[in-house]
Structure 1
Amino acid sequence: MLSPWLLASPFKSKSRLEAENAALRHQLIVLRRKLRGRVRLTNSDRWFFVPLYRWFPSTLQVLTIIQPETLVRWHRAGFRCYWRWKSRSRGGRPQIESDLRALIRRMSIENPLWGAPRIHGKLLKLGFEVAQSSVSKYMVKRRGPPSQGWRTRLRNHAPDIAAMDLFIAPTVGIDLLYAFVIVRLDRRDLVWINVTTNPTAEWIAR
């Protein structure tokens, strides 16, 4: 009885068959260089199988010298190494000392009306070379009164809000008309509409 994999093989895409053939050929290369009955895989072998598995997961079906779980583990380890390298520190502004951070916090607590520019100026007078953005970063963040959300603001002020738009409308004669529309948001009432073939700043202002 033929296996489902053999029955489905004639219907595979050309690139998928080439990938599986490449995996088989590379396994033969590894088997030819084995010593004393033990298969030795190098880093180049791992770097060959991992991208091949990433592009064509079906190569797991033709692996014989390594377990599919091993290949998946290599792929995950490579993924972690890549993103560890991607998120590595690339220098930048050095971190300020803990004493200076504590001083910034103390000044912001004892002087609640002082903002970052004023604290930054005081620190410069004291001889501390620090950026204003760093001062703002280490200041104590105070919570203000809760503000109304966008939905509440829109509901409260909808009668006084209007939306406007300037858009292009092509005509049957392949001409372009420029339309200027103003709509009141409360009841979607059309407040103003005008059309021109030559929009100018004066026309829009009028």
Structure 2
Amino acid sequence: MSLSRSLFLCLKEWMHYLLYFLKLYFKSSHDIKLENIALRSQLALYIQRCDKQKLPKPTPTPAFRQLWLFLSMHLKQWKSHLILVKPDTVIKWHRTAFTFHWKRKSRKVGRPKISRETIHLIKRVHQENPLLSPEKIHEKLKLLGIEKPPVPNTISKYLPSTRQPPTEKQMQSWKTFLKNHQSDTWATDFFTIPTLTFDVLYGLVIIHHQTRKIIHFEVTTNPTAEWMIQQFRNATPYGKAPKYLIHDNDSIFRSKAFQRFLTSSGITTKRTAFQSPWQNPYAERVIGTLRRELLDHIIPLNETHLEQLLTEYIEQYYNTERTHQGINGKTPVPSPEYIPTDLKNIKIKATPVLNGLYHTYKRVA
């Protein structure tokens, strides 16, 4: 199907939705309720037939997906009204739309692409002179009188990488350091998540290596060095600071203001190597956990909404109830210890967290 025909069908379906929506304004509340019952009865019969005869459900159209993205923004309890698809499917549609939106918004408009002949020449010069750096190759192209030669950064894209993977000795040395200083080490990193309106929120997480406890977290739309300094002030009251802090090569972590603050607080920074997330395993792991157990199941409305969800998840579940294999099946914040008792003599009380996404359990008398 051609692009023009697809757009025509999508607009046609949207016109159908809008005309039906306008008709509702001229109907009484009584008529709308009766019409809702009539439509639901027919839909229930159709679903029953599909389930009984195992008929394939209709494939959602682009307009249908866009409509449900709109309804998820404005309709309370929208998940309970879904029949043809699952709520996770609508969330996946939102993620896809977000990717498409930012892909178009982030379209490169920089330097024009270089020709195949130029790429071939760059590779030839490098093959015949493997010790030449991208800067030297750029200078040679200028000496050859080539008009507008690629800059060194562009030339480096077409050269084979000479970066060697870490040796076993290097990995063992880093692992030994992490193991020997678990009690004195914190790790930090950022993660991002799109909102319902396709804005990007930045989350900061700080984790203690030994206990796996999330010491501090915060959400913002524009992280800066000053904002980062304030977060670490909040995370280290009364001088309770770690001896070591592990972080990656983000420009905020490497900023002079933040590094001066850490030095004045008596914190030694341990910056990971470029493209080496394995050197910051605890921070990477906890961010993966946050994504799998919370962020992949929600679409935050704004900064405040995401902060409320993270607060409930971390304070009521992750730090206090979620067990970790790395600390022998215990929780980051020690849980009460019970005397072993037969299950017949135990009553368990469940408390929902995040509207029932998780539950916490306590023994009651």
TM-score interval, smaller chain: 0.3 to 0.5
* TM-score, normalised by the number of residues in structure 1: 0.43
Structure with greater Cα Rg? 1
